């Protein structure tokens, strides 16, 4: 294994006053439109000054310091890092789509795609209406909980201020409840990874606004008693929120609407394979049951007499409002649309089947190598948890060590230390687009790492050794804040 | 099978390892009564068929000549920007949780943060938010957490701020009981007057929002308004256009110069946010774009979103990682600064490449050229009978024009000629009468402006003849 790349200087360090990428400057105009003197900038901003080639080389080199789906197996649990088909990008970037101003006359070609996307998402989730406007999963969650709040208020049921969240839930769930001005009640999970029904029954009350659930849960198992959970919460007057983080596991197999959910957000950047882009943009479309339809965030796409148009506050006066400057991450939605057309009905069902096949295969193989599954009695969904608590006791290695060592073997690490309630855990999601050979190579690496625990723990605990940097000093990063070039000396 | 690599033999062997007889058995934990019937979805298409479909849909929308701005601006995007941003190593990577395997994305974000700080004149920037409008909502929530001198949850929101931003701020921040007080603009100048703010002197508000240039494209007298807000213990939330910052004073410098020297030193905006789209991101029907946000170091722990810091590795080599994560949802859960997880990473990648290619000089050239083109456009359109300029204040690359007849049918007639003439303001600002907002950037040449003026003259006179 050789070193990937040595350090790349900051673009500012490559800069030299007087150098620039001249081709990119617009022609100099003869006119003299002037800014009033008191509003003018006094000194130019300290920006890069490089040639076009220098910029191209710099950013290309930076790209080469990343792991990505296109270059590496990326089994990051709960993130659904599947192949992002090139066609989705190519045809979403046709010049007519890219050049379209959002406030011009309603573009019929683009809106036809969005309308059909709404319909397909409705069908897949079993919901009654869809809005594509939330710009990420977290904003979809916000929209969902805000709709629930608006629904209760519209019925003058104003005492419903609590959201119930299982302990295993993603951190966004409680954070979202807070952003919507509600309070959070956490309930435990039982030994099988299911919601503790007795705890749920004890917690529901006239103050219950909703329960937020992922199914399959973040523990990687299908919530057996979902119908009972739905009944308990509905009987108490609360609504059910479905966090679509794990929709990949159930596409075409079971629909959140049929499970009794009132609202769902979907992560189009997971299940429908739009790119993660180094941390966004995502898209967090929401689907609702009939009773929440009037509260959907605007705009959504409607169709009148064969013409598509944006529905706004005039059409949906009870809407929770606008969440973005225009209409959400339109280009991301277009990529999801293309993906769904490529897969079609048959392809969509195969997603869940092969994602589940890969996860269960990988779990069984890792168990055979001596790794402990957190829920061995359960079928894995599209992901599963390995706990390294035995290894931690025996060899003092941590989940973080294994994660870092996997990088040396050419695999992106699984999600570590999430969910929080399983000690020393790795949450592994292989996705359906990985071949058996890749899963086997991953098992070979895990097997080698297992041998290192016994024979070369030093090597393991000091990994990675082949990345552009070794382990970073996160404490220093947070204490001696250096967040921008030239301002490193400022302390809070 | 689309994107599924398994051979029939693979499937058999994998099922064997798992110890089940069929794929169906993998789903045996789902109660039978919940299992979905067959879905009503279109059949699969091959790539060639999808290419045909999308090309036809795109052709329906055409490529009109665009003079609309209003928060989304058509600038030239250098060829390297998206050629590099769509490299798989950027496009198909995730949030840089494993720092050692994500140094490219992390260093790029650090460089981006540095550029945002340089442009805005602020000390710290985050790694971006969803878009400009939602960034303002987050800025309002952040101001509540940051301003310890205020006990109110009230924010002054001038009507000259983009009305959609104000709507989004209400939709998002309203859930936490923030309220917004509208401040009117001056009908002659088209900007927010100090006199209008002075009606609120001595009252408890958390923050004043100031957009520069404002929604009408007019330049606000930001120094006096900023000082007034600070005198009244309010924070200043600046909403700015990043292109304009090449030539307009940086928000970090707003306020009278002598205040900076004073011990209290509250010069400059406190939180700066805005729409990053003008920096190399295509119009694309409204997204994905990205919101930027910067602030003073003293408020960094109240700022939402990812932040990248430079540190060292165990061998003392410099490296980059996500930092100050104790603010975020995955650690703090219900006590987090926001529920936001991602930034708009790919858009930030494009913007960082864009800013690197243009540099300070190039951005200034784009800003000056856009400003001049708009001045030329306004002159050309105001030469058309029945058209005049609405406001007297200096403007950047947008302006409000008043017509002698309703704007909507005029704009519709222009659209039929393949020309997007501007944004009808009659619903957003009925008091302005027949007003429309027009914009020209460096992408509009003299011939384009002449074509617009000629088309407008014809449409106006046809409309007059029909009346």
Phi-psi region at A417: left, alpha or beta (left = phi > 0; alpha = psi -120 to 50): left
Q: Which chain A residues are closer than 8 Å to B371 by Cβ?
A: 33, 35
Structurally, chain B folds into a number of domains equal to 2
**Going by C-beta distance under 8 Å and a sequence separation of 6 or more, which residues neighbour residue B195?**
none
CATH number at residue A441: 3.90.1150.10
Across the interface, of B245, B342, B356, the residue whose CB is closest to A45 is B245
- Three-class secondary structure of residue A413 per DSSP: coil
Asked which of A297, A314, A342 is the last residue of a domain, the reply is A342
CB contact under 8 A, A325 and B168: yes
Instruction: Give the pLDDT confidence score for residue A400 in this predicted structure.
Output: 97
Asked which of B335, B352, B369 is the last residue of a domain, the reply is B352
Q: How far apart are CA B109 and CA B292, in angstroms?
A: 12
Q: Å from B4 to nearest chain A CA?
A: 5
**Smallest Cα–Cα separation from B312: which of B33, B66, B100, B455?**
B100
Q: Is the dihedral of CA B438, B442, B443, B444 positive or negative?
A: positive
| Average pLDDT over every residue of A277-293 | 96
Residues B145 and B230 in one domain: yes
CB contact under 8 A, A360 and B26: yes
CB contact under 8 A, A65 and B223: no
**Smallest Cα–Cα separation from B105: which of B124, B120, B131, B87?**
B87
In a domain? residue A266: yes
Residues B99 and B183 in one domain: yes
CATH number at residue B364: 3.90.1150.10
Instruction: Give the pLDDT confidence score for residue A224 in this predicted structure.
Output: 84
Residues B243 and B294 in one domain: yes
**Do B391 and B192 touch, CB atoms closer than 8 A?**
no
Burial label for A317, CB within 10 Å (0-12, 13-18, 19+), is: exposed
DSSP classification of residue A76: B
Across the interface, of A36, A58, A470, the residue whose CB is closest to B394 is A36
Residues B283 and B397 in one domain: no
Q: Å from A262 to nearest chain B CA?
A: 16
**Do A188 and A167 touch, CB atoms closer than 8 A?**
yes
Q: Which chain A residues are closer than 8 Å to B333 by Cβ?
A: 171, 174-175, 184
CATH number at residue B97: 3.40.640.10
Instruction: Give the pLDDT confidence score for residue B160 in this predicted structure.
Output: 98
CB contact under 8 A, B4 and A350: yes
- Which residue of chain A has the CA closest to B437? A103
Residues B338 and B388 in one domain: no
In a domain? residue A490: no
Asked which of B352, B385, B410 is the last residue of a domain, the reply is B352
Residues A91 and A205 in one domain: yes
Domain hosting A451: range is 349-476
Across the interface, of A41, A101, A149, the residue whose CB is closest to B283 is A101
Residues A354 and A245 in one domain: no
Residues linked to residue B310 through DSSP beta bridges, in sequence order: B320
Q: Examine the pLDDT at A288 and tell me if it is beyond 70.
A: yes
Q: Is the dihedral of CA A158, A164, A169, A174 positive or negative?
A: positive
In a domain? residue A68: no
Residues A98 and A224 in one domain: yes
Query: Residues A18-56: pLDDT tens digits?
Result: 999 999 999 888 766 789 999 999 999 999 999 999 999
Residues linked to residue A166 through DSSP beta bridges, in sequence order: A187
Q: Å from B429 to nearest chain A CA?
A: 16
Question: Which ranges in A208-261 belong to alpha helices (H)?
Answer: 226-235, 256-259
CATH number at residue A291: 3.40.640.10
CB contact under 8 A, A379 and B107: no
Residues A155 and A274 in one domain: yes
Instruction: Give the pLDDT confidence score for residue A489 in this predicted structure.
Output: 43
Domain hosting B308: range is 79-352
Residues B443 and B307 in one domain: no
CB pairs under 8 A between A and B: 683
In a domain? residue A63: no
Q: How far apart are CA A1 and CA A465, in angstroms?
A: 9
CB contact under 8 A, A477 and B323: yes
Query: Residues A256-276: pLDDT tens digits?
Result: 999 999 999 999 999 999 999
Q: Which residue has the tokens 């990205």?
A: B290
Q: How far apart are CA A98 and CA B76, in angstroms?
A: 12
Across the interface, of B44, B62, B90, the residue whose CB is closest to A343 is B44
Q: How far apart are CA B239 and CA B261, in angstroms?
A: 25
Residues B110 and B249 in one domain: yes
Whether a cis peptide bond, with omega within 30° of 0, leads into B38 is no
Instruction: Give the pLDDT confidence score for residue A420 in this predicted structure.
Output: 84
**Do A132 and A115 touch, CB atoms closer than 8 A?**
no
Question: Which ranges in A205-309 belong to alpha helices (H)?
Answer: 226-235, 256-259
Residues B345 and B364 in one domain: no
Structurally, chain A folds into a number of domains equal to 2
Residues B342 and B262 in one domain: yes
Asked which of A342, A362, A384 is the last residue of a domain, the reply is A342
Instruction: Give the pLDDT confidence score for residue B78 in this predicted structure.
Output: 98
**Do A242 and A261 touch, CB atoms closer than 8 A?**
yes
Residues B314 and B434 in one domain: no
**Percentage of chain A modeled with pLDDT above 70:** 97
| Average pLDDT over every residue of A356-374 | 98
For residue A1, the tally of other CB atoms under 10 A from its CB is 9
Residues A326 and A183 in one domain: yes
Whether a cis peptide bond, with omega within 30° of 0, leads into A338 is no
Residues of chain B with pLDDT under 70: 260-265
Q: Which residue has the tokens 């970090």?
A: B252
- Mutate: best of A75, A278, A331, A332, partner B, most B CBs <10 A: A278
Residues A97 and A146 in one domain: yes
Across the interface, of B30, B84, B95, the residue whose CB is closest to A254 is B30
Residues A153 and A116 in one domain: yes
């Amino acid at each position: 294994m050789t070193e990937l790349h040595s350090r790349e200087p900051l673009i500012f360090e490559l800069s030299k006053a007087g150098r620039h990428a001249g081709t990119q400057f617009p022609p100099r105009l003869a006119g003299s439109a002037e800014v009033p003197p008191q509003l003018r900038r006094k000194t130019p901003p300290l920006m890069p000054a490089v040639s076009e080639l220098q910029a191209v080389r710099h950013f290309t080199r930076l790209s080469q310091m990343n792991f990505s789906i296109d270059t590496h197996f990326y089994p990051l649990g709960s993130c659904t890092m599947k192949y992002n088909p090139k066609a989705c990008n190519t045809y979403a970037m046709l010049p007519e789509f890219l050049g379209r101003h959002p406030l011009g006359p309603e573009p019929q070609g683009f809106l036809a795609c969005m309308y059909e996307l709404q319909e397909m998402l409705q069908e897949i989730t079993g919901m009654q209406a869809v809005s594509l406007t939330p710009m990420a999963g977290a904003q979809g969650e916000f929209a969902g909980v805000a709709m629930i709040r608006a629904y209760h208020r519209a019925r003058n049921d104003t005492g419903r201020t609590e959201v119930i969240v299982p302990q295993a839930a993603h951190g966004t769930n409680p954070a979202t409840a807070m952003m919507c001005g509600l309070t959070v009640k956490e309930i435990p999970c039982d030994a099988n990874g299911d919601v503790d029904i007795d705890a749920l029954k004890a917690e529901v009350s006239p103050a219950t606004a909703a329960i937020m659930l992922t199914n399959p849960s973040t523990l990687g198992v299908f919530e057996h008693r979902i119908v009972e959970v739905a009944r308990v919460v509905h009987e108490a007057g609360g609504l059910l929120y479905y966090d679509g983080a794990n929709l990949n596991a159930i596409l075409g197999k079971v629909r959140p609407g049929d499970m009794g959910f009132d609202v769902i957000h979907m992560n189009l950047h997971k299940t429908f394979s739009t790119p993660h882009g180094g941390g966004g943009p995502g898209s967090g479309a929401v689907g609702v049951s009939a009773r929440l339809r009037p509260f959907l965030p605007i705009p959504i796409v409607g169709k009148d007499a064969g013409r598509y148009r944006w529905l706004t506050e005039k059409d949906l006066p009870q809407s929770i409002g606008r969440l973005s400057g225009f209409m959400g991450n339109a280009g991301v939605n277009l990529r999801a649309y293309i993906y769904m057309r490529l897969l079609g009905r048959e392809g969509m069902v195969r997603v869940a089947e092969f994602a589940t096949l890969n996860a269960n295969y990988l779990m069984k193989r890792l168990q055979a190598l001596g790794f402990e599954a957190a829920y061995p009695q359960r079928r894995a969904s599209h992901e599963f948890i390995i706990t390294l608590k035995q290894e931690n006791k025996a060899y003092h290695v941590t989940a973080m060590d294994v994660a870092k060592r996997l990088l040396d073997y050419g695999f992106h690490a699984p999600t570590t230390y999430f969910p929080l309630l399983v000690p020393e855990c790795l949450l592994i999601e292989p996705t359906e687009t990985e071949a058996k050979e890749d899963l086997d190579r991953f098992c070979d690496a895990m097997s080698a790492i297992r041998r290192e625990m016994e024979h070369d723990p030093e090597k393991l605990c000091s990994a990675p050794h082949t990345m552009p940097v070794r382990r970073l000093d996160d404490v220093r990063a947070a204490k001696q804040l250096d967040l921008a070039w030239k301002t490193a000396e400022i302390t809070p | 099978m689309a994107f599924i690599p398994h051979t029939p033999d693979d499937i058999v062997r994998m099922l064997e390892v798992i110890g089940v007889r069929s794929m169906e058995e993998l789903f045996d934990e789902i109660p039978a009564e919940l299992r979905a019937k067959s879905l009503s979805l279109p059949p699969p298409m091959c790539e060639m068929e999808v290419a045909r479909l999308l090309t036809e849909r795109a052709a329906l929308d055409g490529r009109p000549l665009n003079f609309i701005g209003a928060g989304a601006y058509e600038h030239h995007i250098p060829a390297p920007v998206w050629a590099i941003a769509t490299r798989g190593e950027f496009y198909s990577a995730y949030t840089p949780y494993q720092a050692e395997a994500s140094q490219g994305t992390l260093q790029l974000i650090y460089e981006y943060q540095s550029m945002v700080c340089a442009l805005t004149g602020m000390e710290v920037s985050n790694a971006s938010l969803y878009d400009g409008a939602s960034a303002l909502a987050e800025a309002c929530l952040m101001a509540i957490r940051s301003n310890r001198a205020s006990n109110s949850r009230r924010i002054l929101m001038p009507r000259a701020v983009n009305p959609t931003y104000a709507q989004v701020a209400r939709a998002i921040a309203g859930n936490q009981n923030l309220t917004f007080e509208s401040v009117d603009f001056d009908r002659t100048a088209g900007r927010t007057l100090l006199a209008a703010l002075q009606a609120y002197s001595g009252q408890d508000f958390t923050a004043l929002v100031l957009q520069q240039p404002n929604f009408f494209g007019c330049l606000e007298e930001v120094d006096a308004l900023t000082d007034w807000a600070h005198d009244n213990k309010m924070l200043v939330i600046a909403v700015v256009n990043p292109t304009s910052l090449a030539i307009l004073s940086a928000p970090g410098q707003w306020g009278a110069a002598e205040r900076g020297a004073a011990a209290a030193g509250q010069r400059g905006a406190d939180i700066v946010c805005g729409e990053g789209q003008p920096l190399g991101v295509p119009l694309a029907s409204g997204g994905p774009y990205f919101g930027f946000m910067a602030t003073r170091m003293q408020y960094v722990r109240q700022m939402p979103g990812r932040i990248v810091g430079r540190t060292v590795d165990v061998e003392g080599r410099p490296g980059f990682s996500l930092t100050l994560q104790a603010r975020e949802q995955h650690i703090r859960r219900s006590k987090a600064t926001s529920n936001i997880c991602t930034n708009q990473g790919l858009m930030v990648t494009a913007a960082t490449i864009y800013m690197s290619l243009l540099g300070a000089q190039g951005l200034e050239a784009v800003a000056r050229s856009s400003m001049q083109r708009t001045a030329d456009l306004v002159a050309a359109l105001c030469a058309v009978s029945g058209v005049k300029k609405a406001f007297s204040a200096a403007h950047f690359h947008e302006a409000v024009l008043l017509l002698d007849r309703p704007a909507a049918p005029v704009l519709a007639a222009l659209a039929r000629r393949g020309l997007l003439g501007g944004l009808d303001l009659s619903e957003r600002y009925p008091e302005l009468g027949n007003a429309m907002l027009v914009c020209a950037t460096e992408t509009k040449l003299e011939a384009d402006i002449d074509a617009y003026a000629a088309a407008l003259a014809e449409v106006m006179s046809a409309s007059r003849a029909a009346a």
